[in-house]
Amino acid sequence: MEGMRNYLTEYRHELQRTFTGTSGTPPEWVPRLAEGNDAGYHLPGSAVWAVHGHVATIVAGIRVLLMQALHPGALAGVYEHSDFQKDPLGRLANTVRWIFTVTYGSKEAAETATYRVRKIHERVQGTYVDGNGAVREYAANDPELLRWVHVTYADSFITANRIWGRTIPGGPDAYVREWAAAGRLMGVENPPLTEAQVRDELEAWYSSGVLRADERLAETVSFIRHPPLSPLLKPGYRILFAAAVASLEPRYRTMLGIRAARLGPLPLPAITAARAVLWMVRLALGSHGPSEQAARRRLQRLGYAV
């Protein structure tokens, strides 16, 4: 029993290090989510809290990285202007910070965090070749690229929640509608408000010919498939990666060059095996993370019944 407790403690610390860059105690920005004088963009009982508070978001995160890489403009921005290969976990921690701040923080905190991201994006510019062979300019704050990132995010989080998550208050449409606030903060003009609109937009992107499969994409997929994780996390990540791949439409798997997710001798299908890994993650991290707890403290201070 003592050995199991020690294992779970080490496992929890590795998970925390991977997602936030710290272990044992939350990063400095988490307790500050209890600060602020407004309720924020999202409340307990919202669709966003239901989705982002579930461990299925881990698979959603892998899935959205794969989807976003299909747009050569989005990929060029990451490939040419970030240190994702040298410090992928640092980039992940920054992304987690923004998502959780918009989800659980006050409006002021969410807007400040978004301003920081958009300032970083100002220097991310260049050119890329689209799937039609046309050379195009890109900038990370361009509405077109921001829209692709937002739409693939919504699609991936809805899909992962449908397979591994829980019932969403108001259904998937409520999640898309609520998370549109994050899109607007980032500069997405008229973001989709229903799941059907998300799927229509993805279909339009695919039909446009802009998406592209090339050597850069293959290299990026390989990196996402084999990130520099702790040996303790690698077996579970292998399963979650395979599950994320299994959740993709076949046409996207084909473009990504990963037609089938293989788990070697593992007897269970990837989607089923992922449930066991996510259960383990939930056991290690608990049901209510420190970001949610900090948000609840702020809401209680403001007089909300939480």
The two structure tokens encoding residue 108: 């002021």
State pLDDT tens for residues 260-301: 655 555 545 899 999 999 999 999 998 889 999 999 999 999
| Structure confidence at residue 194 as a pLDDT band (50, 70, 90) | very high
* pLDDT value at residue 214: 93
Count of structural domains, the chain: 1
**Does residue 305 lie in a domain region?**
no
Q: Which residue has the tokens 């881990």?
A: 58
The two structure tokens encoding residue 303: 């007089």
- Domain span holding position 248: 2-18+29-300
Q: Does residue 2 register a pLDDT over 80?
A: no
Q: How far apart are CA 240 and CA 58, in angstroms?
A: 8
Q: How far apart are CA 125 and CA 76, in angstroms?
A: 9
The candidate with the shortest Cα–Cα distance to 305, out of 31, 45, 37, 32, is 45
Q: Does residue 40 register a pLDDT over 70?
A: yes
State pLDDT tens for residues 54-88: 999 999 999 999 999 999 999 998 887 776 667 77
**Does residue 306 lie in a domain region?**
no
**Does residue 24 lie in a domain region?**
no
Phi-psi region of 88 (alpha: psi -120 to 50; beta: other; left: phi over 0): alpha
**Does residue 215 lie in a domain region?**
yes
Q: How far apart are CA 227 and CA 90, in angstroms?
A: 12
**Does residue 224 lie in a domain region?**
yes
**Does residue 80 lie in a domain region?**
yes
* pLDDT value at residue 286: 86
The two structure tokens encoding residue 200: 């229509």
Angle, nearest 10°, between helix axes 270-285 and 57-68?
120
State pLDDT tens for residues 232-244: 999 999 999 999 9
Question: Is the pLDDT higher at 166 or at 85?
Answer: 166
Mean pLDDT in residue range 205-216 = 95
* pLDDT, the chain, mean: 92
Return the DSSP state at 126: E
pTM score above 0.75:
yes
